[in-house]
Amino acid sequence: MGKNARPDSTIFLIFGAAGDLTWRKLIPALYNLYLDDWMPERFMVLGLDRIEMGDEEFRHHLRDSVERNSPQEKVDKDRWSAFAENLHFTSGDFKDEKFFNDLAEELAKVKKGWDGPTNTIFYLAVPPSLVEMIVQNLGKAKLNQDRQGARIVAEKPFGRDMDSAERLNQTLTGIFNESQIYRIDHYLGKETVQNILAFRFGNTLFEPLWNRHYIDHVQITVAESVGVEHRGAYYDQAGALRDMIQNHLLQILCLIAMEAPVSLKGNEIRNKKVDVLHAIRPIPFEEINRFAVRGQYAAGWIEGEHVKSYREEPDVASDSLTETYAALKLFVDNWRWQSVPFYLRTGKRLPAKVSEVAIQFRPVPHQTFPAAALMDWRPNRLLLAIQPDEGIFLRFEVKHPGLTMHLSPVLMQFYYREAFQAEPPKAYETLLLDVMRGDAALFMRADQTEAAWQVLAPVLQAWEENKPFSFPNYQAGTWGPEEGEILIAQDGRSWVIPTYLQCQENLAACHIATTNES
């Protein structure tokens, strides 16, 4: 199916439809697709969960979500009613094989009344403990048999280490073909993350410089100011490494480091990305501290508000050793990236919600200018701002106006909101539309998830065996533990303050980015 065509008729089944994901992300995304005429001509969304609820109650509950989460100003009564007619709810027990047989009959009936091909999408918005049972029961009810139209969507976490990921993948691929499986990493649906591909491979300008000869190092920062919110029970078992680095940050790294794909076909992109993961140099177990740092937040202040420590959050153990901050140094062992460090950091309760990739270029090979001209000189830097203010910034040197030769860094800026004056689609809209179209390019393949766990295996093992004694070791509202600074400082470099923050604090710093240098 073409990238610009509306999908075939679709039945969208959501397991765990009474939960938060359906309410907060899935239904607002489907509704927005509907408003923009991307939904199939014929579709049905069937919510499935244990609790008793009628269609009308389900619709009412979801309307409230759309009111709050839809970027559209106001929910149009008539359009919502037309959309909501397609929403249904069925209560049931996911352990019960009969429930799945009844479901199969129901689906067959619906499809019989529709002509043409129909997609059946099974969306698993359930805790990991239920996944295997649901997948097996779908298989027993033969709901996996339509190898073209039947698709299953799995949310992270994809296991909690290499072994559990392999088992999960075996369960999924035992019943469905890999081409029917869509493992969601919502970062891949973000407009700016996709734009890394457009920027790298739609321009000739940067690609010749995109290698070890010109790039000194790469930094990937995904910072959040929120704590664990209401997800303490899940997060306390996961931690920052599993929750963010295993998926979102490593996927961004892949997009930055991959070789040029021949086409945008799903497997082509995924092959190139998995090559990067396979090329990541194994972190030496005995030297973990030189390559990986963890932290946990203590109470502190964020935007003038006092916030509690991680251990005081709901559903978190009062002596928890789970990390809420993680930073890594990785190397990609291939011709392009040999000896170029990739520094990754993420954490909760950092000063702001901001994600950015900084590509730091090398200094010029020979300085033509006298020392007096170079007081403010800085090497080139390219910044890919992923959120909240999406944009691309390039720092380069110019002559400072005046009668003497003095070089000054300036920033060339591109902001999406200014250039296009349009709200980009939300990640879930892009991803759900791709599932309906059968385009898996933005989804994780089994081997990608396993290769990502492989990269982290030594860190997981070392952290498991050596408990942290210093937790909590950073104050909420700061950039993480001191060790995080040391990780990069030991190489004579420093973390870049994300452009968004520099611009917020001081507009001049935005234009003449001279602060925080490496």
The DSSP-derived string for 348-363 is SS-SS-EEEEEEEEPP
CB of 235 to ligand BG6, least distance (A): 7
- Residue 150 or 354 with smaller CB distance to ligand BG6: 354
Nearest residue relative to ligand BG6 (C-beta)? 243
- Residue 191 or 224 with smaller CB distance to ligand BG6: 224
- Peptide bond preceding 284 in cis form (omega within 30 of 0): no
Task: Kindly state whether residue 191 participates in binding ligand BG6, applying the rule CB under 6 A.
Answer: no
Rounded CA separation 146/150 (Å): 5
CB of 256 to ligand BG6, least distance (A): 17
- Residue 184 or 215 with smaller CB distance to ligand BG6: 184
CB of 125 to ligand BG6, least distance (A): 13
| Crossing angle of helices 191-201 and 250-257, rounded to 10° | 20
Residue identified by tokens 């700016």 is 192
CB of 105 to ligand BG6, least distance (A): 36
Task: Kindly state whether residue 243 participates in binding ligand BG6, applying the rule CB under 6 A.
Answer: yes
Task: Kindly state whether residue 224 participates in binding ligand BG6, applying the rule CB under 6 A.
Answer: yes
Task: Kindly state whether residue 49 participates in binding ligand BG6, applying the rule CB under 6 A.
Answer: no
- Residue 409 or 472 with smaller CB distance to ligand BG6: 472
Rounded CA separation 353/390 (Å): 12
- Residue 133 or 226 with smaller CB distance to ligand BG6: 226
Nearest to 189 by CA among 436, 426, 475, 487: 426
How far is residue 328 from each of residues 206, 325, 341, 484, 496, measured CA to CA in Å? 26, 10, 10, 9, 15
> Going by DSSP bridges, is the β-strand pair 325-331/292-295 parallel, antiparallel, or unpaired?
antiparallel
Which is the catalytic residue, given 60, 61, 248, 278?
248
> Going by DSSP bridges, is the β-strand pair 43-49/87-91 parallel, antiparallel, or unpaired?
parallel
Q: Tell me whether residue 186 is one of the annotated catalytic residues.
A: no
Terminal Cα-to-Cα distance of the chain (whole angstroms): 47
- Residue 243 or 356 with smaller CB distance to ligand BG6: 243
CB of 210 to ligand BG6, least distance (A): 25
CB of 106 to ligand BG6, least distance (A): 32
Half-sphere exposure in the Cβ direction for 2 (13 Å, CA): 3
- Residue 61 or 348 with smaller CB distance to ligand BG6: 348
- Peptide bond preceding 157 in cis form (omega within 30 of 0): yes
Strands (E), 274-406: 292-295, 297-298, 300-302, 305-307, 325-331, 341-347, 354-361, 381-387, 391-399
Residues 6+ apart with CB under 8 A from 365: none
CB of 27 to ligand BG6, least distance (A): 17
| Pair of tokens at residue 281 | 């140099």
Residue identified by tokens 């093992």 is 461
Active-site annotation, residues: 248
Instruction: Name the site residues for ligand BG6 (rule: CB under 6 A).
Output: 224, 243
